[in-house]
Amino acid sequence: MHNEDENPTPTGQLMLQALTMPSDTNPSGDIYGGWLMTKMDLAGSIKAQAIAAGRVTTVAVGSMVFLRPIPVGSNVGFFVEVEEVGRSSIRTLVEAWVIDPEGDEPLKVTEGEFVFVAIDGNGRTRPIQKP
């Protein structure tokens, strides 16, 4: 995991942005953790599919760290850094940052490790073709 104080800017490539809506909140008005995990998984899979040149599936999620609540109406950017590409797997670090349209510094809200495996049309693991 990356220390926010050491690296106050997003790590990796912006893969997805989403606006938080009232339907995504808990009774306190903050965004559900499950909403974040869904978007993080989607962002990671976009990058993994590009590397695998095809279909992937999520096989593991680990080390989720929630740093601060996200209020409704926030613009959240999901950044993906590839940490390792194996024979059939891709390990990524996915960070979520609240991005202020007024240009203020982005605020890191969570990060987690997502692991994907390349699969064929039958859902079986397949090797990733290296360039």
Chain centroid to Cα 42, Å, comes to 7
**For range 112-117, the mean pLDDT:** 98
* Separation between Cα atoms, residue 110 and residue 66, nearest integer Å: 5
Q: Which domains does the chain have, with CATH numbers?
A: 13-118 (3.10.129.10)
What is the pTM assigned to this prediction?
0.90
pLDDT of residue 67: 93
pLDDT of residue 1: 55
